[in-house]
């Protein structure tokens, strides 16, 4: 049976693959129309886009998806700022470093409700917050030294503390070390060494606090 061409309307003999008038192909494949309605994730088909979390796939809870980087940095900076404030009020810096990791997990959960943070992710959050806490504290101490001119006082306190430590274990082999610490180069070496040790301690303590916080908060979420 002849049929009209879908493009130009010319009558085409049935079985001809092309129109003799315009050359349009006469074999057409009908494609199913895509549904504009969102598909539920429970149907096991396509993901549903969530503006806050992203794609939620069947079998994967939204809380298991990674937290946005902006939320992570914001949580760590806020936790470090709180820890700095507590140290200014008299809290031990190492205790504050432990607490900043815990606070980073708490603030991260508030920024992304329903997010389940594992211990390893909490340790990374805590380590980052501990590093930020160390950086802020170091900058504030440098500014205080520059404004208040307490460099000589701090040097005297460090030498006195080292002398007391040497007095507990008297011996001729420690005297050269004490003389080196009293020299300008020795004092600079001690300052750099204390900064390195402090940085490592803050990062480690922050990581421990973050891991503990993630573990405790996940347990509290269980029914």
Report yes or no: 107 and 77 within 8 Å, Cβ to Cβ: no
Report yes or no: 106 and 93 within 8 Å, Cβ to Cβ: no
Report yes or no: 213 and 129 within 8 Å, Cβ to Cβ: no
Report yes or no: 19 and 5 within 8 Å, Cβ to Cβ: yes
Residues 79-138: pLDDT tens digits?
999 999 999 898 998 999 999 999 999 888 887 666 677 888 889 999 999 999 999 998
pTM over 0.85: no
Distances, alpha carbon 212 to alpha carbons 58, 142, 156, 180, 217, in Å: 30, 32, 38, 41, 8
Block residue for tokens 């092309």:
18
Residues 175-214: pLDDT tens digits?
677 677 677 777 778 788 888 999 999 999 999 999 998 8
SS3 192: helix
- Which of 114, 131, 115 shows the shortest CA–CA distance to 79? 131
Exposure string over 167-178, b if 16+ CB within 10 A, otherwise e: eeeeeeeeeeee
């Amino acid at each position: 049976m002849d049929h009209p061409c879908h493009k130009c309307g010319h009558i085409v003999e049935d079985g001809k693959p092309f129109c003799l008038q315009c050359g349009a192909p006469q074999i057409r494949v009908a494609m199913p129309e895509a549904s504009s309605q969102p598909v539920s994730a429970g149907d096991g088909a396509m993901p549903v886009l969530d503006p806050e979390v992203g794609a939620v796939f069947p079998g994967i809870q939204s809380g298991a998806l990674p937290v946005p980087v902006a939320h992570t940095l914001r949580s760590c900076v806020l936790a470090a700022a709180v820890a700095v404030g507590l140290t200014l009020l008299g809290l031990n810096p190492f205790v504050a470093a432990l607490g900043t990791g815990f606070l980073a997990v708490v603030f991260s959960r508030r920024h992304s409700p329903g997010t389940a943070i594992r211990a390893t992710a909490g340790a990374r959050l805590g380590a980052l917050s501990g590093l930020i806490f160390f950086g802020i504290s170091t900058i504030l101490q440098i500014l205080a030294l520059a404004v208040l001119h307490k460099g000589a006082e701090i040097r005297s306190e460090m030498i006195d503390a080292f002398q007391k430590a040497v007095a507990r274990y008297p011996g001729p082999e420690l005297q050269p070390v004490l003389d080196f610490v009293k020299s300008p180069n020795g004092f600079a070496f001690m300052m750099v060494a204390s900064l390195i040790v402090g940085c490592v301690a803050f990062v480690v303590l922050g990581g421990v606090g973050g891991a503990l916080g993630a573990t405790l908060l996940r347990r509290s979420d269980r029914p």
